Amino acid sequence: MKITITLNGKRIQEEIANDVLLIDFLRAHGCYSVKRGCETSNCGLCTVWMDQKPVLSCSLLCAKCDGHSITTLEGVQKQAEAFAYFMAHEGAEQCGFCSPGLIMNVLAMEQELQAPTMDEIRSYLAGNLCRCTGYMGQMRAIQKYLHRNKEAAHETDQ
């Protein structure tokens, strides 16, 4: 079947097999940030956005993305760098394999939720598993990242 997808702002029209998964389509188009973990919708490593909302690309047929816009980490480099600064500062990364999926969900959460509580953050990110860190550094980085504008304003006031 022929599909049209806007990938990171670029329109792609292509003939694909009916059973191609989105993750394979994305990696075949050079989006190597999209990682393969469980392949059963349980780890969040393969998270990308469809029309700005997070989806699990290991469990989504590419055919279903026809006519939609897909964003991967490669398409949000600037925002990702801002969050990565806080991750590095909090020592929140070890092997880093889970980071692309986590970053895509954190950025989506930032767009979706106004001043989320810790419980809301935990619940939003419940599908992002990490085998290395124990999550504490990640949670500190996320909180500091979400409060960065407030803290910067506070420092300017002083």
Q: What distance in Å separates the CA atoms of residue 106 and residue 124, rounded to the nearest whole number?
A: 8
- Closest to ligand FES by CB, 4 vs 41, is 41
Applying CB under 6 A, among 8, 33, 105, 133 the residue interacting with ligand FES is: 133
Give the up-direction half-sphere exposure of residue 142: CA atoms within 13 A in the CB hemisphere: 25
Tokens 């993305």 -> residue: 65
Instruction: Quote the least distance from Cβ 35 to ligand FES, whole Å.
Output: 7
Which ranges of the chain does DSSP label H, i.e. alpha helix?
22-28, 77-89, 99-112, 118-124, 136-146, 148-157
Q: What distance in Å separates the CA atoms of residue 114 and residue 129, rounded to the nearest whole number?
A: 24
Instruction: Quote the least distance from Cβ 119 to ligand FES, whole Å.
Output: 22
- Give the interface segment with ligand FES, choosing from 10-18, 65-73, 77-85, 94-102 (CB under 6 A): 94-102
- Closest to ligand FES by CB, 24 vs 110, is 24
Find the binding residues for ligand FES in span 62-91 (CB under 6 A). Answer: none
Beta partners for residue 134, in sequence order? none
At residue 23, the 3 state secondary structure works out as helix
Bridging pattern class, strands 47-50 and 53-56: antiparallel
> Could you say whether residue 32 binds ligand FES (CB under 6 A)?
no
Instruction: Quote the least distance from Cβ 126 to ligand FES, whole Å.
Output: 12
Chain residues that interact with ligand FES, rule: CB under 6 A: 36-39, 41-46, 56, 58, 93-98, 130-133
